[in-house]
Amino acid sequence: MRKHSLFIYFELLLGIILFIAGVMSFITPVDSLYFFSVLFGIIVILYGVTDVIVYIRLERYTAFAPMLSLISGILSVMAGIMLVIYPNTGIAGFLILFPIWFIAHSVSGLTRLDDVKYFQGNGMFVLSLILNILGLILGLMMLFDPVIAIVPVSYFIGIYSILIGSNTIATAIRMLKN
């Protein structure tokens, strides 16, 4: 029997956690935002610790780059601790960035309307115009009243987590079979 790397089992566990968290975001959208904020905080802490370790291992061999790794690591650990202790900070970030993305995407769509009309005809032009105006209005509404953004943000993160979790599980299973 072949001995498998601990990394593969960690990958499988991470995939399962992400998949379950994604499903939970549809069942309890508000609570899942707290979970994702804390989870993101833990991930940021781990990246920060990794950056500090890189600094410790490389600082005597190279010049300036490891110092950036140290600074990045310290800032990452501080930000991660803040997200774990104060998950509302992460939720506020999600609730601000999602409407901004929504608005930017809609404005971008509005700027391409001439191309839509030229390449896809009047029907798609009108549909694209209506959808992008609605997107702009919804984005502004979410920006000025972040409470309405809670459920869409949670669903968006949930779908992403389900997809990433499924991919991670499939990769781990494939690695276990080989």
User: pLDDT, tens digit, for every residue of 100-125?
Assistant: 888 998 898 899 888 888 888 898 89
| Amino acid identity for residue 32 in this structure | S
Structure confidence at residue 2 (pLDDT): 55
Structure confidence at residue 64 (pLDDT): 61
Contacts of 67 (CB under 8 A, 6+ apart): 55, 59
Contacts of 12 (CB under 8 A, 6+ apart): 168, 169, 172, 173, 176
Residues of 6-28 as b/e, b for ≥16 C-beta within 10 angstroms?
eebeebbebbeebbebbebbeee
pLDDT above 90 covers a percentage of the chain that reads: 18
Structure confidence at residue 81 (pLDDT): 95
User: Using CA atoms, how far apart are residues 178 and 176, in angstroms rounded to an integer?
Assistant: 6
100: left (phi over 0), alpha (psi -120 to 50) or beta: alpha
CB atoms within 10 A of CB 144: 9
CB atoms within 10 A of CB 88: 12
Provide block-wise average pLDDT over 10 residues at a time, the chain (178 residues): 69 87 89 87 86 76 69 90 92 84 88 86 90 89 84 86 89 84
